[in-house]
Amino acid sequence: MKFSVAYLVLVAFTFLSLTPAGVSLAELRADDGFELDELDLGLEEDESEDSEEEEEEEDEKPAKSAKKNKDADEEDSEEESEEDSEEEEAEKSESEPEDEEDDDKPAPAAKNKKSEPDEEETYAAKGKKIAAFYFFADSHTAKSVSHVTAETAVQLEKSTEYDYVGTEAAVFASTSSAKSLLKGINKKIDEGKQLYADLNPEDAVEKFLAALKDFESNLDKLSDMKLLSDIIFYVAASYKLMDEDKKAASYFADYITLNPDAQPDASLFASEVISAFKEVKNRRKSTAKGSVKINCKTEGALVFIDGRIAGMTPVTLRGIAEGKHYYRIHKNGYGDAGGVVSVRADKTASISGNIKKSEEIPSSFRDAEKTMISDFGGASMLTKAVDMARDFSLDNVLVVQAKIGSDERLTYKGYMIDRKLNKYKKSEAVFDAPEKGAAASSVSLQQFNRALIEDPYEFKPISDAMMEELDMIVSDKAPDAKDDDKASAEKKPVYKEWWLWTIVGVVVAGGLVGGHFLCKEYCGGNGKSDGATLDINFQ
């Protein structure tokens, strides 16, 4: 019995004595594919930090309490002093006459100070201020489906929630010289209206024509078509009062082109002016049509005809009424091109309106645009759009991308970013691109535009996009499942490794030999034992 106990103790002691030399359980586990160090989540560190914060809060409580009492005392004393000062001022005001008040005396700073708004109002928006960006995968896509993207712009223009055209004109089209131009034009308009009200149409028409000339000469900087149409109507009305009916009819026709559904205010104009206007409007319904071809080196620029989105470069517009029309070519980050074009029946008028990048656009705009192209739909694009919207005091940013695949089907993607909510939503559709002139009737395009522009739901935090990208990065770095199976199949279990059984054999042999000699020493002395003996011979 003693021999058995001694034998087991020696075997265990020998095995444990060998493990620190490089055969620890942690290392055996590591060889099986587990790295224990990587599982350290820093919980101990967090717990220690939390305990330190709790101790700091406990230490700060007495100080905060004392400070609170001190502040309360100071507030009470301030209220008493304010009441005393108010009484003194009341007595002083009673003793002094009211007409001797010092108007030039500055008011107290607290009363003069105004709370600064979160953002600077640059213009009176009719809805949410929004900027839109349209990108094409290549030149072939731009030439083939620019009318599809233009339809999205048209639907955004029609939206009652957003002031799209107003934002584009005020934020991206206006230049530093536009304000001074408008100031001079408005001055001439006011002078002309006064002369018109004084029944002096001869002098009034000169002021209106001067204002009209200034406006038409700067259509690349000015985009307020309502102001332009008001000038034209006053020119027509002045000519009518001067009995120059032919000139009056011509300007009435131009006015109707800009405002097809407009009805002049009968309280401001004489009945003869209203009658002449209605007569021209009735004739205008049967006006012949022509075409306009717009050539521009920059693809994807919006084309405005008479203040309304008509297409996107490159484009040929058909069914344009005969007569004078005002055009503007616009793209964010570029200076606008604008002018006047005359359309003749069954003829095609050509416009070459090349635009150049504007030097007045801040660098934040350029950075955001580059990110929209390089990381379309990514978290960095969304955050850059938010930053740009903040710089330009915008509420929303719309980003659309069009791409024609090898199967000639259009992949159409769009993102609507809400700056104030710091959220976004997206819409995507794959469909056969409609023919030019039929984009408005495309069901797939209608659903895309409705989901992106009209649907107020489906917004989600931009942080979700960041987490999705992080998950994709982690999944990309993780080995493929097939590779895992192959690796596990090729990797031998620990118990099949030759070195493990070599160590076990050495341990067992060492224990047997040690036990044998110890047993001789302590269990019987002279080579005699009470139990069986085992002789081991090593070859």
- Amino acid in the structure at residue 469: E
268-316 residue pLDDT tens: 899 999 999 999 999 888 889 999 999 888 888 999 999 999 999 989 9
Contact 253, 285 (CB under 8 A): no
360-402 residue pLDDT tens: 778 888 899 999 999 999 999 999 999 999 999 999 999 999 9
Q: What are the structure tokens assigned to 350, written together?
A: 């050509």
- Contact residues for 351 (Cβ-Cβ < 8 A; gap 6+): 292, 293, 294, 295, 327, 339, 341
* pLDDT score, position 420: 94
Which candidate, 501, 513, 503, places its Cα nearest to that of 10?
A: 513
481-513 residue pLDDT tens: 555 555 554 555 545 565 555 665 656 566 655
Percent of the chain with pLDDT over 70: 64
Which H/E stretch holds residue 241? Answer: helix 225-241
Which candidate, 258, 192, 191, places its Cα nearest to that of 224?
A: 258
Contact 182, 216 (CB under 8 A): no
* pLDDT score, position 223: 87
Which runs of consecutive H residues, i.e. helices, occur in 259-333? Answer: 271-284
* pLDDT score, position 70: 47
Q: List the domain boundaries for the chain.
A: 176-286, 479-539
Percent of the chain with pLDDT over 90: 48
CB neighbourhood size of 103 (10 A): 4
Whole-number Å distance between alpha carbons of 340 and 337: 11
* pLDDT score, position 468: 78
89-127 residue pLDDT tens: 444 444 444 444 444 444 433 333 333 334 444 567 789
Cα 217–chain centre separation: 35
pTM here is 0.66
434-484 residue pLDDT tens: 998 899 999 999 999 999 999 888 899 998 888 877 766 666 655 555 555
* pLDDT score, position 536: 46
Which runs of consecutive H residues, i.e. helices, occur in 120-224? Answer: 139-158, 164-167, 176-197, 201-216
* pLDDT score, position 261: 87
Whole-number Å distance between alpha carbons of 464 and 426: 13
324-355 residue pLDDT tens: 999 999 998 898 999 999 999 999 999 988 89
Which H/E stretch holds residue 131? Answer: strand 130-136
Whole-number Å distance between alpha carbons of 249 and 251: 6
pLDDT, the chain, mean: 77
Confidence of residue 179 (pLDDT cuts 50, 70, 90): confident
Decide if pLDDT at 517 tops 70. no
Contact 351, 339 (CB under 8 A): yes
Q: Please tell me which residue, 39 or 124, carries the higher pLDDT value.
A: 124
35 DSSP assignment = -
Angle at 347 between CA 343 and CA 350, to 5 degrees: 65
Mean pLDDT on 31-49: 41
Q: Please tell me which residue, 65 or 338, carries the higher pLDDT value.
A: 338
Contact 342, 361 (CB under 8 A): no
Q: Please tell me which residue, 166 or 37, carries the higher pLDDT value.
A: 166
CA gyration radius for the chain?
A: 42
Architecture of the domain whose range is 176-286: Alpha Horseshoe (1.25)
Contact 367, 376 (CB under 8 A): no
- Contact residues for 159 (Cβ-Cβ < 8 A; gap 6+): 127, 453, 454
* pLDDT score, position 507: 61
440 DSSP assignment = G
Q: Please tell me which residue, 40 or 498, carries the higher pLDDT value.
A: 498
Contact 397, 372 (CB under 8 A): no
* pLDDT score, position 108: 38
Which runs of consecutive H residues, i.e. helices, occur in 441-497? Answer: 443-449, 462-477, 481-490
Decide if pLDDT at 516 tops 60. no
CB neighbourhood size of 50 (10 A): 10
Confidence of residue 11 (pLDDT cuts 50, 70, 90): very low
Helix pair angle (225-241, 201-216), 10° resolution: 150
> Among 27-41, 44-58, 93-107, which range has the highest average pLDDT?
44-58
Q: Please tell me which residue, 203 or 46, carries the higher pLDDT value.
A: 203
Asked if the bond preceding 362 is cis, omega within 30° of 0, the reply is: no
**Three-state SS for 329?**
strand
Mean pLDDT on 25-38: 38
Confidence of residue 521 (pLDDT cuts 50, 70, 90): low
Which candidate, 536, 531, 533, places its Cα nearest to that of 1?
A: 531
* pLDDT score, position 398: 97
